[in-house]
Amino acid sequence: MTVHAPIHPTARRALTVRLATPRGFCAGVDRAIQIVERAIEKFGAPVYVRHEIVHNRHVVERLKGMGAVFVKELDECPDDRPVVFSAHGVPKSVPATARAREMVYLDATCPLVSKVHVEAERHHAAGCHIILIGHAGHPEVVGTMGQLPAGAITLVETAADAEAFQRPGDAPLAYATQTTLSVDDTSEILAVLKRRFPELPDPHKEDICYATTNRQEAVKRLGEGCDLVLVIGSANSSNSVRLVEVALRAGARDARLVDDATQVDWSWLDGVTTLGITAGASAPERLIQDLIDAVRARFDADVIEDAGERETVAFKLPRLLTA
């Protein structure tokens, strides 16, 4: 239940607000949303989207208002309307079915997720059994596992899973990771796998996508000096949920995930002198500004933007939309 504190403009207490940098949309999310918008402009409504284009309720509702129809599976789409595949990626069978039905389709898979798919195929072609570090049922994991035949990939979710994993026969091993994981959790799992299977390659910084890494590093800085960290993002957004965990591990007294400013229970700020604010990679900047406005309405807020990584990455749109 949301509790709305009374606003007393003449009796507002001081509050330091630190904004994480970077925060909010990453290049892959921005590209995916643009693909849906441009498809609606080019082909008219409706344009179908298989699964949520990104995991954010506000983004999905706005695109619905423009003419996007979100479905779970391809068989819910008519043959004569365009369909967009979500940023999380899809199993190979999905575009294959779309081609067989002669559908117009646009693949909004984040290029960094596509990179994981390519690496998984390369490892498989080299005869390796692949360990995929990720969360069961997440669309990105479903998509990655769907690039290869059944049994070619084993999913490992925790360090305990890594301890229990058994090599299939004498196959050489390789690993891949879901792009939105906690960097620290992934390192812990990889440490177990490396101890048990020393031939595994050392982890690379880019195994977790740059945007996830940058946002987690920014939140670590917030957690070290904030009483409360508010993360704007939807509950089904893996990278947003991880930001809450990272903030708590870094030392924040409390950290909460909220869809938007209306979900803030203002009693959370009792005794708080320094508030940290960030947003997951699929959360629009306007939600952050709405939260800042709500804070300023209740407190004498000094808003400070933290120094952090400045992101300049941009991904190209599909040729079908730019021709």
Q: Average of pLDDT values for 274-287?
A: 97
Q: Average of pLDDT values for 140-166?
A: 97
Instruction: Report the run of H or E that residue 18 belongs to, with start and end.
Output: strand 14-19
Q: State the CATH architecture for 27-110.
A: 3-Layer(aba) Sandwich (3.40)
pLDDT band at 323; cut points 50, 70, 90: confident
Of 256 and 309, the structure prediction assigns the larger pLDDT to: 256
The residues annotated with a catalytic role in the active site are: 140
Quick one: pLDDT at residue 201?
Answer: 83
What are the backbone dihedrals phi and psi of residue 78, each rounded to the nearest 5 degrees, phi first?
-75, 155
If one looks up domain 112-206 in CATH, what number appears?
Answer: 3.40.1010.20
Whether 100 contacts 94, CB under 8 Å = no
Quick one: pLDDT at residue 4?
Answer: 55
Q: Which fold has domain 9-25+210-305?
A: Cobalt-precorrin-4 Transmethylase; domain 1 (3.40.1010)
Q: Average of pLDDT values for 80-96?
A: 97
Tokens at 235, concatenated: 């509950």
Residue 213 predicted with pLDDT over 80: yes
Cα 6 to Cα 98: distance, rounded to the nearest angstrom: 54
Whether 256 contacts 267, CB under 8 Å = no
Residue 186 predicted with pLDDT over 60: yes
Please, what is the average pLDDT of the chain?
94
The domain segmentation of the chain, as residue ranges, is: 9-25+210-305, 27-110, 112-206
Query: Would you say the CATH fold of 112-206 matches that of 9-25+210-305?
Result: yes
pLDDT in tens, 113-133: 999 999 999 999 999 999 999
Residue 204 predicted with pLDDT over 70: no
